[in-house]
Structure 1
Amino acid sequence: MKCRIRLIILVLLICLTAGCWDMREVEVLGYVMAMAIDRGPQEQIRIIAQVPNPRVLGGGERGGVTPGASIAAKPYRNYEGTGPTVFDALREISHESSRRLFFAQNRTLIFSKTMAEKGVYDVLDFLKRSVEIRRGLTMVFVARGEPVKILDTPNPHAILPALRIDDIVRWRGQTSRFAPVPLSRFLEALSLEGQEPYAGVIEVASNPTAQVKEGEKAAPEPSSTIRLTGAALFRNDRMVGFLDETETRGLLWVLNEVRGGQIVFPCPGQEGKKVTIEIIRANAKIEPEITEDGIIMTVKIQEEGNLVEVEGPLDVSKPEVIKELDRLHAAAIGNEVKTAVYKAQELGSDAFGFGEAFRRKFPREWKKIKKDWPEIFPGIEVRVQVVAHIRRIGMVGKPPLLTH
Structure 2
Amino acid sequence: MKRRMLIILVLLICLNAGCWDLREVEDLGYVMAMAIDSGPQGKIRLIAQVPNPRVLGGGQRGGITPGASIAAKPYRNYEGTGSTIFDALREISRESSRRLFFAQNRTLIFSEAMAEKGVGGVLDFLKRSVEIRHGLTMVFVARGDPAKILDIPNPHATVPALRIDDIVRWRGQTSRFAPVPLSRFLETLSLEGQEPYAGVIEAAFNPAAQVREGEKAALEPPLTLRLTGAALFRNDRMVGFLDETETRGLLWVLNEVKGGQIVFPCPGQEGKKATIEILRANAKIEPEITEDGIIMTVKIREEGNLVEVEGPLDTSKPEVIKELDRLHAAAIGNEVMAAVYKAQELGSDAFGFGEAFRRKFPREWKKIKRDWPEIFPGIEVRVQVVAHIRRMGMTGKPPFLAP
TM-score, normalised to structure 2, is 0.96
Q: CA deviation at 1:18?
A: 8.0
SS at match of 1:366: helix
SS at match of 2:208: coil
SS at match of 2:59: coil
Deviations along 1:32-89, one digit per CA (max 9) or x if unpaired, are 0100000110011000000111222232211111244433110110000000000000
Counterpart position of 2:134: 135
Following the alignment from structure 1 to structure 2, what is the Cα–Cα distance between the partners of residues 401 and 218? 42
Following the alignment from structure 2 to structure 1, what is the Cα–Cα distance between the partners of residues 161 and 12? 44
Q: Matches of residues 2-401 of structure 1 in structure 2 within 5 Å?
A: 20-212=19-211, 218-401=217-400
The root-mean-square deviation of aligned C-alpha atoms, in Å, is 1.8
SS at match of 2:207: coil
Following the alignment from structure 1 to structure 2, what is the Cα–Cα distance between the partners of residues 392 and 107? 37
Following the alignment from structure 1 to structure 2, what is the Cα–Cα distance between the partners of residues 16 and 43? 51
Q: Which amino acid aligns with 1:386?
A: V
1:138–1:183: 8 Å Cα contact kept in structure 2? yes
Deviations along 1:170-218, one digit per CA (max 9) or x if unpaired, are 0000000000000000000000000000000000001112124668784
- The 3 A distance-change label for structure 1 pair 218 and 65 is farther
TM-score, normalised to structure 1, is 0.96
Give the share of equivalent positions with the same residue, in percent: 88
SS at match of 2:358: helix
Q: Which amino acid aligns with 1:53?
A: N
1:211–1:220: 8 Å Cα contact kept in structure 2? no
SS at match of 1:272: coil
2:330–2:385: 8 Å Cα contact kept in structure 1? yes
Following the alignment from structure 2 to structure 1, what is the Cα–Cα distance between the partners of residues 97 and 364? 58
Aligned length: 403
Deviations along 1:270-303, one digit per CA (max 9) or x if unpaired, are 0000000000000000011111111111100000
Deviations along 1:294-324, one digit per CA (max 9) or x if unpaired, are 1111100000000000000101111111011
Following the alignment from structure 2 to structure 1, what is the Cα–Cα distance between the partners of residues 344 and 387? 26
More divergent stretch after superposition (215-224 vs 84-93): 215-224
SS at match of 1:305: strand
Q: Which amino acid aligns with 2:302?
A: E
Following the alignment from structure 1 to structure 2, what is the Cα–Cα distance between the partners of residues 288 and 264? 30
Deviations along 1:299-353, one digit per CA (max 9) or x if unpaired, are 0000000000000010111111101100000000000000000000000000000
Q: CA deviation at 1:11?
A: 6.5
More divergent stretch after superposition (221-230 vs 3-12): 3-12
The runs of 5 or more residues in structure 1 that have no matched partner are none
- The 3 A distance-change label for structure 1 pair 215 and 92 is farther
Following the alignment from structure 1 to structure 2, what is the Cα–Cα distance between the partners of residues 18 and 166? 38
Q: Which amino acid aligns with 2:171?
A: R
2:210–2:218: 8 Å Cα contact kept in structure 1? yes
